[in-house]
Structure 1
Amino acid sequence: MESDLHQVLGDLVVVNHRLTRVAARAAGGTESPALWRTLSVLRGSGPLRLGALAESSRVSQPTATNLVTTLDELGWVHRRADPTDARASLIEASDAGLAALDAWRDKLIAALMPLFADLGPAEIETLRHAVEIVAARVDPVDVVGAAGGDTVGSVGTGARL
């Protein structure tokens, strides 16, 4: 049983990466995937300090700084003073950033539809159930952190990026 689970989880990770690459390539996006990942983290977490955002996005702090600068120039994030430390800023997704993220998700879905258009109701229900199983285990870990540390952020229950 554990061996089967080990194999299935490995296959799930690999196929998820492949699905994401196929969708992004087919959607013709030009933005860095890191921009979308950063907005996704902010959607689920609310305002974060730069260090927490870098940790959640699994990038270095200088990379997070560059991402936030780009997102700020696009009008997709807001920076505001941290009320607990005037030297620090909190970064949060703007309405425009969330709208851009939703539009990107819609492009990804449209790009994937031809690959899945022939699925029947039972197969669609199987996928729905698989998403629910994965989301129920991943979202709480994302919120609390794999080591039970600081709160980081969640992409939701499979409903949004």
Structure 2
Amino acid sequence: MPTDLEVQSSELVVQAARLVRAVRRRVGHPAGIRILALLEELGPLGVTALAEADRSSQPTVSGAVSQLVDEGWVAKDSDSSDARRSVVRLTPRGSQRLADARRENGAAVAERLARTGHSVDDVAHAVAVLRDVMDEQL
């Protein structure tokens, strides 16, 4: 029998995923935004490691990285430990695009929140809980 904490934790994951999907439908960012966010979080990575982190195939991520390079949002550098490999890193333009996407996401969520009656303090508390959860390794 699941504990109350397990039930509520499961519901937290379900609702967080629903929120992310709703924002994606509303805002419509390119798929590459996920890669920018991963690079910001994890630092420069090879394409294979990036694909593993994104739970995507290497060819899919390789194609996405090529598009991101064309946009100027990421750069590919030689891997200092193996010149045959490259490392993908976020560029200042990519950081700016990610910041813009996050502002757009925030505006979309704020619009929904304004209709709920929840206060800024309620939202700040929810963010603090999620931040604490994410500070722990899953």
Query: Structure 1's 129 and 72: CA in aligned 2 closer, same or farther, altered over 3 A?
Result: same
What is the Cα deviation at residue 9 of structure 1?
2.0
Identity over the aligned pairs, expressed in percent? 32
| Cα 1:122–1:105 shift into 2, 3 Å | closer
Of structures 1 and 2, the one scoring higher in RCO (CA 8 A, sep 6+) is 1
Query: For residues 134 and 123 of structure 1, what CA distance do their matches in structure 2 show?
Result: 17
Counterpart of 2:10 in structure 1 is 10
Normalised by the size of structure 2, how large is the TM-score? Answer: 0.88
Return 115-124 or 77-86, whichever deviates more.
115-124
Does residue 62 of structure 1 match 2:43? no
In 2, the alpha carbon distance for the partners of 1:125 and 1:47 equals: 30
Distance 1:44 1:128 in 2: 17
Partner of 1:23: 23
Distance 2:89 2:3 in 1: 41
Deviation at 1:122, TM superposition (A): 4.3
Residues 78 and 122 of structure 1, relative CA distance in 2, 3 Å threshold: closer
The answer for unaligned runs of 5 or more in structure 2 is none
* Structure 1 residue runs of 4 or more that deviate by more than 6 Å after TM superposition: none
- Match of residue 86 from structure 2: 89
Q: Is the 8 A contact 2:74 2:88 kept in 1?
A: yes
CA separation in 2, counterparts of 1:125 and 1:103? 21
| Residue matched to 2:131 | 132
Tell me the distance in 1 between the aligned counterparts of 2:23 and 2:17: 10
Equivalent residue pairs, number: 136
1:64–1:121 distance in 2 versus 1, CA, 3 Å = closer
Q: Give the structure 2 partner of residue 104 of structure 1.
A: 101
* Distance in 2, Cα, partners of 1:122 & 1:30: 28
